[in-house]
Amino acid sequence: MSSDEGLDKGREIFIEEAQELLTELESALLELEENPADTELVGRVFRAMHTIKGSGAMFGYDDIAKFTHEVETTFDMVRNGEIPVTTNLINLTLMARDQIRTMIEASQGGPQVDEARSKEIISGFKLVMAKDSDEKEVASAESVTATDTSTTAQKEAPIGRVSIVTYRVRFRPAPELFATGTNPILLLNELREVGKATIVAQTDAIPTLEDFDPETCLTYWDIVITTDKGIDAIKDVFIFVEDLCEVKIETIDEGGVFDEDERHLKLGEILLSRGDVRLDDLKGVLGKQKKVGQILVELGITDESHVTSALAEQKHIKEVKEQKQKTDAASIRVPSEKLDKLVDLVGELVTVQARLSQTVTDFSDGVLMSISEEVERLTWELRDNTMSIRMLPIGSTFSKFKRLLRDLSADLGKEVNLTTDGADTELDKTVIEKLNDPLVHIIRNSVDHGIEQPDVRVAAGKSRYGTVHLTAGHSGANVLIQIQDDGKGLDKDVLFAKAVEKGIIQPDAELSEKEIFSLIFAPGFSTAQKLTSVSGRGVGMDVVKRNIEALRGTVDIKSTLGVGTTITLKLPLTLAIIDGLLVKVADDFFVIPLSVVQECVELTKEDIARMHNRHISNVRGAIVPYIVVREHFLVDGPRPEVEQIVVTEVEDKRVGFVVDYVIGEHQTVIKTLGRIYRDVEGISGATILGDGTVALIMDIPKLVSVVEKIESSSYETALSA
């Protein structure tokens, strides 16, 4: 790799990292708005800015580095308690965050950066800083040096990584500690929650029994603690007792700084390697040697408990180092194309494995069989593992919506909170990416049409703050995502009247509640009294439905008037694998996604005759129209005496698909079709069967709508003829 390439690679990583940091920055800022006094949040904001600035300068994004520097300086002052966190500051920083993103996008070929706006934002920050320095000029002069030291301190830690530091803490309570109702054991337990702690109690100050006063605290503790939460987290533990106790905190290992292995060979080892002494002799001599601690204790230089404490520290550091080596290797960053390629390969392996199993069955050889079974087990395990690599928690998408909601409610003059649940639910990366737009539409709609204005809410006896609740969770091979609002709910009568007016339904149509609610997903439907800048013009929800269905998911809607609306999205865990029903028509194989299949029934020649050749069947008294697959795909050959109808349900409509044989359930790896077949309607992909035959995967919703279109046009032609 040439140095240019290396730089490009670094740029790529910087862009990726910066995007993550900006997301982190945003969520930290929004949290900070709620808890302006939280120093940890201020720290998070500062660190994000610091990292963007540092790596930006490193990869030649000088404009970004320069711009970010001002923001960083301001937050350093906030961190030192010189500037308070105000709404103005948060707004300004959010603007700066967006500006940084524009700068990054501009470097990627996006639209030009508005320089004037950058200047405006920077002068905003300067104003905030200036306000303060007028009051205490001396303090800010001091803070300059403080900034310098803190920057160098930060540089030592690896950029963009949380630094793990080990501290040595001596906690010596005042004898009268108990009189304040403090239990030191609780403090030590709390310390254990901050990080990995080794605690040694020192009892040398405790007198003999006759002089002992049980109401005084004479024990003190030596603690070695390793944590990524910083020294403040340790100080916080002792906040109530800091003026009553001696709490000494020293840094003994700043994750990685002392990592160099400076181990020298010991004398014995050198002699041994030269062959001058024998191992047994050496061991015998070493056995006679006293340990340093023991010698010191015997000479009365220190006592045993202090040596124990020092040994505990030694052991602690050793353990932490070992742990660190493990975690350092625990995570790597890989381009997603590599993963896609891996999934592809695993898919092919699964196919080959299926062929192998089938071939082996024909040989009926015991040895071969057991090898094949072993290969099968490994293949499935490999497949599951590969799929899990592509899984990402949905949380990052959720935090994006916090910002969306904040801006939306400001635009609309509403007061809305976003609460989330199940942010750690994992989904295929591709699914998460494609989920973003539909979710944005749904949340916009919830805020715009669902949540009422604050005064309306109060009049209705609700809290003036509306809530949008996002939940994600697993349900079998699916993930359920719920968007719940406590707004005014859907009004059935209004929806119905609107749909009639728009010509979507007939005035005399009889619809169930569910069907009426589903109307909001119909193309060209909008209930807003007037168009707002937010919800657009009613193109949202039908697109949502289409997008979700493209992901082989479903949308469900429930609503109670005056109480709120819940939209539930049901999505497959992954797009690469599908549970299907394998069917056969003449010599061709098809796969019907199992998620839409309800049942299979037989269709005899008599049944067809009874319905006068109309494509309608009677499934236990219910009328179910069917599509004859062989007719639709123009498959030649005679129809068997008894055919099978696979009854599916799509959008609450039941439609049958007539095939020759139902072979059974089949889990398949989806292959996309080539360019030539791209425009074939009703086929979503293909899969390769065990014996190498190709089976086409049917796109059921598409097939139904295509056939519906053909039927209605032929009906109209018949009428006009």
Which residues of the shown chain bind another protein in the complex (CB under 8 A)? 35, 178-183, 185-187, 189-190, 215, 239-240, 243
Which pair of structure tokens corresponds to residue 437? 């737009």
Q: How far is the CB of 244 from another protein (least distance, A)?
A: 8
Q: How far is the CB of 457 from another protein (least distance, A)?
A: 22
Q: Of 28 and 596, which CB lies nearer to another protein in the complex structure?
A: 28
Angle between helices 62-79 and 115-135 (to 10 degrees): 30
- Taking the complex as a whole, the smallest distance from the CB of residue 462 to another protein amounts, in Å, to 20
CB 182 within 8 A of CB 239: no
Residue number, 190 or 515, with CB nearest to another protein: 190
- 238 versus 626: smaller Cβ distance to another protein: 238
Smaller CB separation from another protein, 35 or 618 = 35
CB 392 within 8 Å of CB 432: yes
Residue 35 CA to its chain's centroid (Å): 24
Pull the structure tokens for residue 463. 């809290």
Report the DSSP pairing between strands 653-659 and 616-619.
unpaired
Closest CB 227 distance from another protein, rounded Å: 17
Report, in Å, the least distance between residue 25 CB and another protein: 23
Report, in Å, the least distance between residue 78 CB and another protein.
17
Asked whether the beta carbons of 713 and 704 are under 8 A apart, the reply is no
Q: How far is the CB of 218 from another protein (least distance, A)?
A: 16
Tell me whether residue 212 or residue 240 sits nearer to another protein (CB atom). Answer: 240
Q: How many helices (H) and strands (E) does the chain have?
A: 23, 21
Beta carbon of residue 37, minimum distance to another protein (angstroms, whole number): 9
Q: How far is the CB of 193 from another protein (least distance, A)?
A: 10
Closest CB to another protein among residues 465, 661: 465
d(CA 361, CA 173): 76
Please say which residue, 186 or 371, places its beta carbon nearer to another protein.
186
Within 8 A by CB and 6+ apart from 648, the residues are 592, 596, 597, 598, 654, 655, 656, 657, 700
Strands 694-698 and 588-593: parallel
Q: Which is nearer to another protein, 190 or 254 (CB)?
A: 190
The minimum distance between CB 466 and another protein, in angstroms, equals 20
Instruction: Decide: helix, strand or coil at residue 686.
Output: strand
Cross-strand pairs, 401: none
- Is residue 514 within 8 Å of residue 427, measured between CB atoms? no
Least separation in angstroms between residue 238's CB and another protein is 10
For residue 343, the minimal CB distance to another protein (Å) is 42
Phi–psi pair at 470, nearest 5 degrees: -105, 130
- Give yes or no for a contact between 247 and 171, defined as CB atoms under 8 angstroms apart: yes
Please report how many Cα atoms fall inside a 13 Å half-sphere around the Cα of residue 525, on the Cβ side. 24
For residue 349, give both structure tokens: 């392996």
Nearer Cβ to another protein, position 184 or 347? Answer: 184
Please report how the helices 39-58 and 62-79 are oriented relative to each other, as an axis angle in degrees rounded to 10.
160
Closest CA to 114 of 95, 129, 130: 95
Exposed, middle or buried by CB within 10 Å (0-12, 13-18, 19+), for 134? exposed
Smaller CB separation from another protein, 179 or 509: 179
355, with CB counted inside 10 A (0-12, 13-18, 19+), is middle
Cβ proximity to another protein, 239 vs 311, nearer residue: 239
> Tokens at residue 163, please?
């630094």
Place of tokens 């053909």: 710
Pull the structure tokens for residue 158: 């690896």
> Which CB sits closer to another protein, 215 or 493?
215
